[in-house]
Structure 1
Amino acid sequence: MSSLSSTPDARSTSVLRRMPSDEVLGLGSRAKQGLSQIYGRGDLIVFGLGVMIGAGIFNIAGRQAATIAGPGVILSFMIAGIASLLVALCYAELASAMPVSGSAYTFTYVVFGEMWAWIVGCALIVELELAAASVARAWSLYAAQTLADLGVQVPALGGKAVGPDLFTLAILTVLTFVVAFNARVGLRVLWVMVGAKLAAIAAVIVVGARHVDAANLASIPADPLPLARDADVLHSTLFGLTFGQAHAFGWLGILAAAPAIVFAYVGFDLVATTAEETRDAPRVVPQGMIRSLAITTVIYIAVAAVMVGMVRYTKISLETPLGNAFRAVGEHFMVHVINIGAVLGLTTVILVLLVSQTRVVFAMARDGLLPRSLGRLTGRHQTPATASLISGAAAILLAELAPVLTMEQLVVMGTLFAFLFVAAGVIALRRRMPELPASFRTPLFPLVPVLAILATLWLMVNLQVITWIYFAVCMAGAVLLYLLYGRRASLLAPPPPGRGRHRR
């Protein structure tokens, strides 16, 4: 194993010391121990579809149409897709230049320095752990509802929103072991489930299209209505506190719905965590990321058009809107299709979240910022089994003991925080390391990265103030942990007097 290259940023005591780019590229070219390369272009598209299309595809369009945007929700999906694409183009360039595990954490380490990388890495870990736990809880609720609708008795400890839940425990345990011990089996499972999920969505679109009334799509209210502000300031959005009262319907409503819809697209960034396991990653990862996002956007728009076309927006039910819409037109069987599609959709989301979480933990451990044992590859398939098992166990504990269904905005905040560093990272990388090769370049530079930063900030101010407070507390704890542990344990830390240099 070769030692770290000697650069002005390496081996210093500064908290902003940067990982040398040649060290990152050395890992990506497998000069050192790395993950097995199992993904191709099609696999990455499926990976992206697996995490971006969950149960929300059957609910979000109806709820946003009924409360904020009306039939204009279709335009809201287009706006949200464009905002997501801006960030995805930035991710694509950095993933092309640094095709290794770690995604935004690794990018930040090279461009901005170690402490910022630690904070971004911790934000990703919080995001992915909470996401896996909350989606597993949602999976339990949908699984219980599906069984009940089919006339199967649900166990007393299954399908609960809070407290010990057998369904949540079961799905997290099974998928954790799949991720830990055989990545290829996990990939095959992902292909099968995404295929079945897309079949269910196709049925929704085809059957629903037969009942679309053009008059429902044309009934866009022209005049915006003020939305009621929460009396409790801690549950207000930062946008409301800063810019005044939000509005529903009309163009203001269409724009107001877009931030909530963007959250449905969150997950395209996780494709970058597979870079080290992807063949011809500098070319394939950007293609997989952008194509999966484009396909997801088209699918969401199609489902939204069916939803608001079947039922006038003033009559959409907030409880299972798409299922009730099919009941209203006499297609009762489609309720079962939607339930099964939701269960399959959430299963693939959990699987991708666990894979991505493991890769972030693995990358941080390999850099010395987490215990080295988490960065070891074991077994015939050379997987980071220890990191997978510990990450899965943490998700199980969170899901069983914490009210994770109420913490979704904290998941989103962690994602958006990483988005900011990626978008800014493209600008900084072009200036600091223009010689770094990249098969993909963000178009219209620097306009696209600047717009990505502005779009991300716009999404962040639409989160609740209490979310900002919780996130600030978590990140303050992360900084303290870095100063007490990560700074000294890092492979970039100078060796103690009398000892040799660290080796990778």
Structure 2
Amino acid sequence: MNLKQTIFRKEPFENYLATDQRFEKTMSAKDLLALGIGAVIGTGIFILPGTVAALKAGPSIILSFVIAAIVCALAGMCYAEFASSLPVAGSAYSYGNIVFGEMIGWIMGWALILEYVLAVAAVSTGWSAYFTSFLHGFGLNIPKVISGPFDPAHGTYINLVAILIVIAIAILLSRGFQSSIRINNIMVVIKLAIIVIFIITGLFYIKPSNWQPFFPYGVHGTFAGASTVFFAYLGFDVVSSSAAEVKNPSKNMSIGIIGTLIIATFFYILVSIVLTGMVSYTKLNVADPVAFALNLVHQNWVAGLLSLGAIAGMTTMMIAMIYSSSRLVYATGRDGLLPKQLGKLTGAHYYPKNSMIAVTVIIAILGGLIPLDQLTNLVNIGTLLAFTLVSFGIIPLRKRTDIPNNGFKVPGYPYIPIISGLACIYLITTLSPITWIGSLIWFGIGLIIYFSYGIHHSHLN
């Protein structure tokens, strides 16, 4: 077998089904929706509508969210078809292995590892900041030396709270995902309830004059806003990581993925309508625009609730992403592209214990010691690359006669998958040069690992 044949060898679908059947199938459509909403609707809902309205779109931020949702829904439908057809662990990594070949699958998996690990590490530092502020309200202060990343010049050496919350969530997940999903569901309800309270309260303070002019930056500003807020929807792909643990995946996976996007869009649009109606968009370029708007109309008690909503939102996001990243690393270990110990299911609940420990350690180190301001930009390119390949992957998937699909199928085939892939490529071209340089380094490391280790240890070898 020559090099080309080796790197494009495809994993038989039946192998994955046989290997992943030991997972407990406990998740319903409701659980998938809570998992997806927990990942997608985070603290960004309290920030993005205001800052993007102020800097790029004005009141037309409402349409920006609609445009971004349409683009994201295209990729979401492609994910839904893959998840319905291939109910296995590993999400886009496994899909790529089956339809494109091993190396492409590895690149997709490496991109998603980047997304999940960096996203959780960044959110853990945000969680730490909110929790520290919460304690400060009661007169309790965390010593400065353990309150930030390793930066001796500014007196911080480790962000202990960020490390502890990551470890706590990993321990929760190790006790069985059924108990974890119950806690996740409760936190999602709390988060959405606080958002609803803001919307209802804000309705009484809307001034239609604040929506004039509706396009202060022109239609171009509306589309520029859409490119920015597109990233508010990222995270729905974590639903596909759970396919091996879902009851009736051919039906429930599409409900979880597409339902997540519909609900998230609904809340983002409502918050945008209320926020830009309460306050002129020119005043919303602040760190906490929703809290600013509430304080402006003397509804300080609702502003106080936002901190609780933010903590709940960040917690559900970390639960979803740590869970998904452990399944992704498990899938690469299952195939031998990373050490096989990572691909074992152990414990009373048959969960990937070793991969959970590995991702927890990596995320805790990043969140506790390393400033993440620049690294988080890499999340975008990793996600969009996976979206692109999943979109185009529908075409070879449909041609596979050995993979039946009695569930969801992308309408308008093959045009919708092609449009989805091209839309993702366009968004990739809008990213900054620094993001491109960082991503090239990341994927270079990934290819070195594949050609020095994975290609030789792959069980297909």
Classify the TM-score, shorter chain: over 0.9
Could you tell me which amino acid in structure 2 is paired with residue 474 of structure 1? W
> Residue 113 of structure 2 aligns with which residue?
125
> Residue 411 of structure 1 aligns with which residue?
379
**2:409 & 2:319 partners in 1: Cα distance?**
30
Alignment of 1:102-501 (within 5 A): 102-149=90-137, 151-157=139-145, 160=148, 163-222=157-216, 249-431=217-399, 433-434=400-401, 436-438=403-405, 439-493=407-461
Shift of 1:353: 0.6
Pick aligned residue for 2:65 from 61, 70, 77: 77
Distance 1:188 1:448, change over 3 A: same
**1:388 & 1:24 partners in 2: Cα distance?**
20
Could you tell me which amino acid in structure 1 is paired with residue 169 of structure 2? L
**1:315 & 1:379 partners in 2: Cα distance?**
53
SS of structure 2 residue aligned to 1:49: helix
Gaps of 5+ in 2: 151-156
> Residue 4 of structure 1 aligns with which residue?
none
**1:152 & 1:54 partners in 2: Cα distance?**
26
Instruction: Give a deviation string over 1:39-98, Cα, whole Å, max 9, x none.
Output: 001000000010001111000000000010000000000001101100000001111111
Could you tell me which amino acid in structure 2 is paired with residue 15 of structure 1? I
Could you tell me which amino acid in structure 1 is paired with residue 86 of structure 2? M
Could you tell me which amino acid in structure 2 is paired with residue 65 of structure 1? A
Shift of 1:319: 2.3
Instruction: Give a deviation string over 1:135-189, Cα, whole Å, max 9, x none.
Output: 1011111222333345543443565366411210111110111122322221111
Instruction: Give a deviation string over 1:97-131, Cα, whole Å, max 9, x none.
Output: 11110000000001110011111111111221111
**2:325 & 2:131 partners in 1: Cα distance?**
24
Could you tell me which amino acid in structure 2 is paired with residue 218 of structure 1? Q
Do the aligned residues in 2 keep the contact of 1:100 with 1:275 (CA within 8 Å)? yes
Do the aligned residues in 2 keep the contact of 1:165 with 1:400 (CA within 8 Å)? yes
Could you tell me which amino acid in structure 1 is paired with residue 51 of structure 2? R
**2:267 & 2:227 partners in 1: Cα distance?**
18
> Residue 91 of structure 1 aligns with which residue?
79
Shift of 1:411: 0.9
Could you tell me which amino acid in structure 2 is paired with residue 437 of structure 1? P
**1:404 & 1:188 partners in 2: Cα distance?**
30
Shift of 1:399: 1.3
**2:233 & 2:146 partners in 1: Cα distance?**
29
Aligned residues, how many? 454
Structure 1 consecutive aligned stretches of length 4 or more whose deviation exceeds 6 Å: none
SS of structure 2 residue aligned to 1:268: coil
Distance 1:157 1:178, change over 3 A: farther
Instruction: Give a deviation string over 1:386-405, Cα, whole Å, max 9, x none.
Output: 11011101101111222213
**1:125 & 1:220 partners in 2: Cα distance?**
40
Distance 1:253 1:161, change over 3 A: farther
Q: RMSD of aligned C-alpha atoms?
A: 1.9
Distance 1:381 1:349, change over 3 A: same
TM-score (norm 1): 0.87
Shift of 1:344: 0.8
Instruction: Give a deviation string over 1:302-328, Cα, whole Å, max 9, x none.
Output: 111111011011122422111111111
TM-score (norm 2): 0.95
**1:441 & 1:353 partners in 2: Cα distance?**
26
**1:113 & 1:334 partners in 2: Cα distance?**
52
Shift of 1:483: 0.9
User: If you compute each CA radius of gyration, which structure gives the higher value, 1 or 2?
Assistant: 1
Do the aligned residues in 2 keep the contact of 1:138 with 1:405 (CA within 8 Å)? no
Do the aligned residues in 2 keep the contact of 1:35 with 1:276 (CA within 8 Å)? yes
SS of structure 2 residue aligned to 1:481: helix
Could you tell me which amino acid in structure 2 is paired with residue 282 of structure 1? S
**2:26 & 2:138 partners in 1: Cα distance?**
38
Could you tell me which amino acid in structure 2 is paired with residue 76 of structure 1? S
Shift of 1:21: 2.5
Distance 1:454 1:149, change over 3 A: farther
Distance 1:395 1:59, change over 3 A: same
Do the aligned residues in 2 keep the contact of 1:181 with 1:379 (CA within 8 Å)? no
SS of structure 1 residue aligned to 2:97: helix
Identity score, percent = 35
Do the aligned residues in 2 keep the contact of 1:141 with 1:161 (CA within 8 Å)? no
Do the aligned residues in 2 keep the contact of 1:24 with 1:100 (CA within 8 Å)? yes
Do the aligned residues in 1 keep the contact of 2:160 with 2:368 (CA within 8 Å)? no
Do the aligned residues in 2 keep the contact of 1:15 with 1:115 (CA within 8 Å)? yes
Distance 1:217 1:161, change over 3 A: farther
Shift of 1:434: 4.2
**2:159 & 2:441 partners in 1: Cα distance?**
29
